[in-house]
Structure 1
Amino acid sequence: MSVMTGAGTRVFIGSKLTAALSDDDATDLAALKAAAITYTEIGELIGVGDYGDSVSDVSYTALAKSRVTHLKGVADGGTVDLTIAFDAGDAGQDALVAASKDRAGFYYLYPLKIQYVDGLIDYCAVAVQGVRKQPGSGNDVVQRVVTVAVNSPILEDAGA
Structure 2
Amino acid sequence: MSVMTGAGTRVFIGSKLTAALSGVDATDLAAMKAAGITYTEIGELVSVGDYGDSVSDVSYTALAKSRVTHLKGVSDGGTTDLTIAFDAGDAGQDALIAASRDRAGFYYLYPIKIQYVDGLTDYLAVTVQGVRKQPGSGNDVVQRVVTVAANSPVLEDPGV
Above 0.5 in TM-score? yes
User: Conserved in 2, the CA contact under 8 Å of 1:102 and 1:108?
Assistant: no
User: Conserved in 2, the CA contact under 8 Å of 1:127 and 1:149?
Assistant: yes
Give the aligned partner of residue 60 of structure 1: 60
Separation of aligned partners in 1, 2:26 and 2:83 = 30
The SS at the match of 2:93 is: helix
Separation of aligned partners in 2, 1:77 and 1:92 = 22
Separation of aligned partners in 2, 1:70 and 1:80 = 26
The SS at the match of 1:73 is: strand
User: Conserved in 2, the CA contact under 8 Å of 1:40 and 1:91?
Assistant: yes
Give the aligned partner of residue 12 of structure 1: 12
Give the aligned partner of residue 134 of structure 2: 134
Taking only aligned residues, the RMSD between alpha carbons, in angstroms, comes to 0.8
Matches within 5 A, 1:1-150: 1-150=1-150
User: Conserved in 2, the CA contact under 8 Å of 1:83 and 1:143?
Assistant: yes
Separation of aligned partners in 1, 2:134 and 2:67 = 48
Amino acid paired to 1:9:
T
Identity of counterpart residues, as a percentage? Answer: 89
Displaced runs of 4 or more, over 4 A = none
- Count of equivalent residues: 160
Separation of aligned partners in 2, 1:120 and 1:104 = 32
Unaligned runs of 5+ in 2: none
User: Conserved in 1, the CA contact under 8 Å of 2:19 and 2:108?
Assistant: no
Cα offset, 1:64, TM superposition: 1.0
Cα offset, 1:104, TM superposition: 1.8
User: Conserved in 1, the CA contact under 8 Å of 2:126 and 2:151?
Assistant: yes
Q: Which moved more, 1:106-115 or 1:147-156?
A: 106-115
In the superposition, the TM-score normalised over structure 2's length comes to: 0.98
**Per-residue Cα deviation, 1:109-150 (whole angstroms, up to 9, x for no partner):** 100000000000000100000000000011100000000000
